[in-house]
Structure 1
């Protein structure tokens, strides 16, 4: 594997708070995106997203390299489950308190990319990103609400300093957790490692071959371009055009509340 470029950055500009992880060894390259906490529990004084990332980073060291996608995902999920220390009943009832992460992995042995959740990747410039239907819906709701605030007389700058839409959509964001790994969720169902997932058939598995150029990234990049500079430029232009992220690119959050980007972001480009 020849690494061309790599980058990781917190949405607050402080990587001590970054819930993304970038793992590299001779067997695997992986990008993991710890899900922003919806509950109140701290894990070793860290958010659930940060702790989930740390657990998965450590667990990736345990593999021989010949494991298949389902063996890897099952093991990673099991490591998250161990953090509950037998309190399954509590975490089944209190879904917001679970550790959660999405992940995209490249396996050197199998020459495959494995994606579980909404992390993204590209192969020779062909990007793949699994949009969550619930996020698309909430992005529209948020857009409508903030547009109403603008019409009422508030400024973009005022709304960027303190985004009132988060209080409006938070109950939906919290309840959407019931759709995770749930066949009853219909089009709103989504995949995530959370310690309770027992079905990995919805993982995306793509073969690659020697000489292919691969990019793995978290969903902090609204658009995955063919280079880090271009991907970062899109973010810069988006911040100038649509800092609230309600027009040009609709999202469940924007460049608000002192964030330098919509979300934590991780990018790695390499040649197989």
Structure 2
């Protein structure tokens, strides 16, 4: 069996800033990468930590041996990130301040194992079945942000005013920074902990491993609320969502489509996005 990439697309939310999403393919892997939105002002040569994480992972994937397991994949990527911290003398910094870590989520198709791995909050569609790996803390904070903004709209604020100053995002921002307490947390089994690639040890049980039983696979970042069988359908759904609910608080066609951030003035979406469709034969 072999595979081909039928469609691929990457687009940043901003027309000016560097996109923190990306994807890379080798004969055995297709990897979609979502560099995490930075919660600090820390930059590396002017580049956000999410962008740097995406670049490092993209480079390392091209060196991966064929047929490794999901846990081996995590170990190899994390070792590369740790080497970067040490080489650039920032290991003490990232240990003390987790918000400065190079952090990313990935969706991986491993051809030789016929599996998709979700590490962090990327997503996939296999045949007609969609799989998400959302963090519970994001769901809670998205609801809270939605409540704050819906209340402001009811009090007379306009959508455009709230796009310019997202008081819902401001309200949840301290808690967004506090979520790092649960990032790759190995100390307990709290429902709030979550897995990412940031160079530090992970709980392998939090990797979502999905056997591929269909010839059609879509890998994507969480810049899409919903995935469809083609890029055109997926983009059309996102555009409709943004047109009807630019604040991303569940005012559009799907009340469940809420986010911790909305579409800022001048931006084309609420987040960077990547879509890759694969056919196996």
* SS at 1:62 equivalent: coil
Q: Distance in 1 between matches of 2:189 and 2:15?
A: 35
Q: TM-score, with normalisation over the residues of structure 1? A: 0.94
Q: Distance in 1 between matches of 2:115 and 2:170?
A: 41
Number of residue pairs matched? 270
The corresponding residue for 1:196 is: 200
2:5 is aligned, of 3, 6, 11, to 3
Alignment of 1:25-40 (within 5 A): 25-40=26-41
The corresponding residue for 1:254 is: 262
The corresponding residue for 1:83 is: 84
1:243 is aligned, of 243, 246, 261, to 246
The corresponding residue for 1:49 is: 50
Check the 8 A contact 1:119/1:130 in 2, yes or no.
Answer: yes
The corresponding residue for 1:105 is: 108
Superposition deviation, residue 38 in structure 1: 1.1
Check the 8 A contact 2:93/2:100 in 1, yes or no.
Answer: no
Q: Distance in 1 between matches of 2:109 and 2:148?
A: 40
RMSD over aligned Cα, in angstroms?
A: 1.6
Superposition deviation, residue 228 in structure 1: 0.9
Check the 8 A contact 1:159/1:256 in 2, yes or no.
Answer: no
The corresponding residue for 1:64 is: 65
Superposition deviation, residue 214 in structure 1: 0.5
Q: Distance in 1 between matches of 2:202 and 2:145?
A: 32
The corresponding residue for 1:264 is: 272
* SS at 1:181 equivalent: coil
The corresponding residue for 2:182 is: 179
Check the 8 A contact 1:162/1:257 in 2, yes or no.
Answer: no
* SS at 2:191 equivalent: helix
Q: Per-residue CA shift, 1:90-143, capped at 9, x if unaligned? A: 322211111100111111222211111110011112110012110111111111
**1:123 maps onto 2:126 in alignment:** yes
Give the unaligned 5+ runs of structure 1: none
Check the 8 A contact 1:163/1:257 in 2, yes or no.
Answer: no
Q: Distance in 2 between matches of 1:46 and 1:234?
A: 31
Q: TM-score, with normalisation over the residues of structure 2? A: 0.91
Q: Distance in 2 between matches of 1:155 and 1:54?
A: 39
